Chain A
Amino acid sequence: MSNTGNKSKQSSANNTKELQNAFFDSFLSRNIVLVQAIGIAPILAAGITLQNGVTLTLCTAAVLLPSSLFMSFFGDRLPAWVRAPLYTVGSTLLLLGAALLIDRFISQQLYANLYIFLPLTAVNSLVSYRAGGFSVSHKPTVALVDAIASSLGFGIVICVVSALREITSYGKLWNIPLNSAFKLPEAALPYAAFLLLGFMAAFLQWIKSASERD
């Protein structure tokens, strides 16, 4: 990865460039899911309807942003063995709040649909990798931008996958029935998501190579 450097004082001209790089690195050119293959499990299992996808994206952002910020402020002052339990407990607490909000105020049905995958977001490899690895060695602004980009990169993939799977398997989008005659209930099985992810990863590489060629 290009951004393994330590927190060094840089001029403000470099600053925006660094932020841009951090953003596009995690969001597009080294997309967190499609290139680094992190956080695939919830997409395979729970990314069946668009509502699930958006909820998981928001929950990931709600967990990742604060824990990334916290780790970039205090991470390097803590010994390495304290960090992992700390951000795990922290993200679990944050997620408990998010789950409570969903259950009480948004929809109990949605909470039931997500089943085990909502609590598992707290220990998703995405959180531990970005908050525990990247943020510790970077400035808070860079860490925040990276957390936003990671959440968005994860979000765009899970939303596309879950929307496609909802359309093909249930003939609905955001629970609104589309009048399509073609239905394939097996698209909700994990292998369909694996295939979709594979093709999306190949598509991303194709775009990258095409843009480099020009």
Chain B
Amino acid sequence: MSGDVLIALVPLCVFSSVYYGMRPILLVLTGIISAVISETLCCLFMRRKPSIVDGTAAVTGALVGALVSPLSPYWLPAAGAIFAIVAVKMPMGGSGRNLFNPAAAGLAAITLCFQGFLFTYPDPGLGVPLPLADNALSGIITQGSPAAQLAEGGQTLYTPTILLLGDFPGPIGATAIAILLAVALYLFIRRSISAIIILPYLATCAMLAWAFPRVSGGSGGSIMVELCSGYLLFAGVFLLNDPVTSPRHWLGRVFYGVLAGLFVMLMRYFGRFEEGACFAILLVNAFSTTLDRLGWYLLNLKRIRERRRVE
């Protein structure tokens, strides 16, 4: 399960390293290493058998690392991953017991605290790899991401082809839309992600983008830019399908996807940041159990009523 997710992240990182050199891969590795080390330390502190073998800590670190900007300093994914493990995952009881998605929570923490680092993206047309050292980063040409353009409104510069190819500034793992779709297909075949979460999620986002476009010129273009910008698609594939925090019941999963799409788009329309999908995921995680019970209740409504009548 977590092995599949790690494999799926490899092509995304490779794609980013084609544009920006080795730095994105080192950032993701920093996330993984700090998550694994902090989980080991937590297990030692709690006098438990180390639970890093199941790979969930590595996945958390890799997801946090894959969602920071290629231009961010190395301590940023480390801080996110450590927060995710130490403050969100382990206090709830470790793997399989966390109420909230640790990666989304770690990302939310660094979004709140260091948005300047997180939302400054390098120009993909640089042609030279980024420097590896943190102190050599000043003076790199930066460019506003599509999500930032959407937040400002007006005409978007990005055509659907550019968006699909991923030739635009954005987080390490979330720009390669075509690769992301292929990876989603792989994870779907391996049964690591569930189509009844991600399809309602994307449908809700698309419907809202169609009904309330933020760019001038056609609602079709609005749908395309909204779905491809930021890390909306990445969040739908990797963060929303976390088997621990998503509902089990199929109807609950449909509601979960719809609610997540609604929250993600509301965060975009009214939120403080250009991308607030991590906050939306955390919010919808809190509804997970309720949605499970709601789905079961709605399907068994007839039987429940009959039983009441008998009594």
Residues of A in contact with B (beta carbons under 8 Å apart) = 184, 186, 189, 191, 195, 198-199, 202
Contacts and interface: CB of A to CB of B under 8 A. Distances in A.
A86 to B, nearest CB: 39
Interface in B77-93: 87, 91
A186 B91 CA distance: 22
A186 B112 contact: yes
- Specify the main secondary structure of chain B where it touches its partner: helix
A185 to B, nearest CB: 8
Contacts of A202: 91
10 contacts: A184-B113, A186-B112, A186-B113, A189-B112, A191-B112, A195-B87, A198-B91, A199-B87, A199-B91, A202-B91
A36 B158 CA distance: 54
Contacts of B91: 198-199, 202
A137 B91 CA distance: 38
Interface of B: 87, 91, 112-113
Given A189-B112, A199-B87, A202-B91, 7 more contacts: A184-B113, A186-B112, A186-B113, A191-B112, A195-B87, A198-B91, A199-B91
A202 B46 CA distance: 13
Contacts of A195: 87
Contacts of B113: 184, 186
A209 to B, nearest CB: 13
B130 to A, nearest CB: 26
Nearest to A199: B91
B92 to A, nearest CB: 10
A191 B105 CA distance: 12
B162 to A, nearest CB: 35
A182 to B, nearest CB: 12
Contacts of A184: 113
A198 B87 CA distance: 10
Contacts of B87: 195, 199
A210 to B, nearest CB: 12
Nearest to A195: B87
Nearest to B108: A191
In the complex, the 6 A-B pairs of residues with the closest C-beta atoms, listed nearest first:
A186-B113, A186-B112, A184-B113, A195-B87, A202-B91, A189-B112
B178 to A, nearest CB: 36
A117 to B, nearest CB: 23
Nearest to A202: B91
Nearest to A191: B112
A195 B87 CA distance: 8
A139 B87 CA distance: 43
B135 to A, nearest CB: 16
Contacts of A189: 112
A164 to B, nearest CB: 14
A214 B121 CA distance: 55
